[in-house]
Amino acid sequence: MNGYTLFSTNTPPLIERRMFLCQVTGSVVATRKQEAFRPAKLLVVHRVDQHGALVPEAKEMLALEPGFGAGVGDYVLVVREGKAVAQVMESDGIISANVIIVGVVDDWSYEA
């Protein structure tokens, strides 16, 4: 299988990963924002481990939420990749963001 799994001991260091399981920890209100961002909310997300606990060494990220209905307390799948942001936001040009929520997690399981 190509790419990384969310909870493998063989994954590279935290900075190199592109997809994360996160919890929404806050929101940002912006009355003025780039036109491409208008349909999206801005949410603060923090990476969690396989049990749902916040990963202390991970920094919070500001993520675009393109209309899935995620809010504070929800677990979400986050991609940190500029091309993914442009694809989800359906932007042909350069979009000045690199973190986007691509799904709201209903449930997950983990086997050691």
Give the containing element (helix H, strand E) for 86. helix 82-88
Q: For position 30, what pLDDT does the model report?
A: 84
Three-state DSSP state, 112: coil
Q: For position 59, what pLDDT does the model report?
A: 92
Q: Using pLDDT thresholds of 50, 70 and 90, give the confidence band for residue 37.
A: confident
Above 50 in pLDDT, residue 22? yes
Number of other residues whose CB lies within 10 A of the CB of residue 5:
10
Spatial CB neighbours of 66, under 8 Å, sequence gap ≥ 6: 39, 40, 88, 89, 100, 101
Query: Which of 77, 92, 74 lies closest to 17 in space, CA to CA?
Result: 77
Q: For position 45, what pLDDT does the model report?
A: 96
Task: Tell me the residue range of the domain where 55 lies.
Answer: 18-104
Q: Measured between alpha carbons, how far is 63 from 4 in angstroms, rounded to an integer?
A: 21
Q: For position 4, what pLDDT does the model report?
A: 40
Within a domain: 8: no
Within a domain: 40: yes
Digit-coded pLDDT (tens) for 41-53: 999 999 999 999 9
Above 60 in pLDDT, residue 99? yes
Above 60 in pLDDT, residue 3? no
Above 60 in pLDDT, residue 34? yes
The count of domains in the chain is: 1
CATH number at residue 76: 2.40.50.220
